[in-house]
């Protein structure tokens, strides 16, 4: 009987740890990402506009480039709903993004008609 109680307690602990740990996709997304620079309609190079930083505890920081300066625009939490959809909970809304991995350092986030291609930023240290 004691072994059975111990086994059930161990099983419950393992299940709790597995359920609370980040998924493979959330782990893959950790770090700082920046939207790719592009070309405007006249063919001129445009600057990157957005940065996202994803943290292991499930939080995210969203910065926007305004007049050449990065300003924090939003903070929230993120979680994958399934293999191809991620939800970010901001104070002012909770967009759901369709996520398409191009490779380990490039990902595309789509919500509605908007598509952002993000590039992983390498460690700046």
Q: Render pLDDT for 39-86 as a digit per residue (tens, 0 to 9).
A: 666 766 666 799 999 999 999 999 999 998 999 999 999 999 999 999
Say if 93 falls within a structural domain: yes
Say if 11 falls within a structural domain: no
pTM value is: 0.74
Q: Quick count: other Cβ atoms within 10 Å of Cβ 44?
A: 8
Q: What is the CATH number of the domain that holds 104?
A: 2.40.128.280
Q: Above 60 in pLDDT, residue 125?
A: no
Query: Domain range spanning residue 45?
Result: 23-120
Say if 5 falls within a structural domain: no
Task: Please give the pLDDT value at position 124.
Answer: 56
Question: CA dihedral defined by 109, 64, 113, 60, rounded to 10 degrees?
Answer: 40
Backbone angles phi, psi at 40, to 5 degrees: -85, -175
Q: Above 90 in pLDDT, residue 113?
A: no
Three-state DSSP class for 72? strand
Task: Please give the pLDDT value at position 24.
Answer: 85
Q: What percent of the chain has pLDDT over 90?
A: 59
Say if 12 falls within a structural domain: no
When mean pLDDT is compared across 13-22, 27-36, 37-46, the lowest value belongs to: 13-22
Task: Please give the pLDDT value at position 39.
Answer: 60
Say if 47 falls within a structural domain: yes
How many domains does one find in the chain?
A: 1
């Amino acid at each position: 009987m004691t072994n059975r109680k111990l086994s059930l307690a161990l099983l419950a602990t393992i299940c709790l740890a597995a359920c609370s740990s980040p998924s493979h996709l959330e782990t893959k997304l950790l770090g700082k990402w920046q939207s790719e620079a592009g070309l405007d309609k006249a063919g001129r190079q445009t600057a990157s506009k957005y940065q996202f930083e994803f943290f292991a505890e499930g939080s995210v920081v969203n910065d926007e480039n305004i007049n050449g300066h990065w300003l924090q625009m939003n903070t929230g939490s993120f979680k994958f709903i399934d293999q191809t959809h991620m939800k970010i909970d901001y104070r002012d809304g909770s967009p759901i993004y369709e996520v398409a991995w191009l490779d380990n350092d490039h990902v595309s986030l789509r919500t509605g008609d908007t598509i952002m291609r993000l590039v992983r930023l390498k460690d700046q240290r």
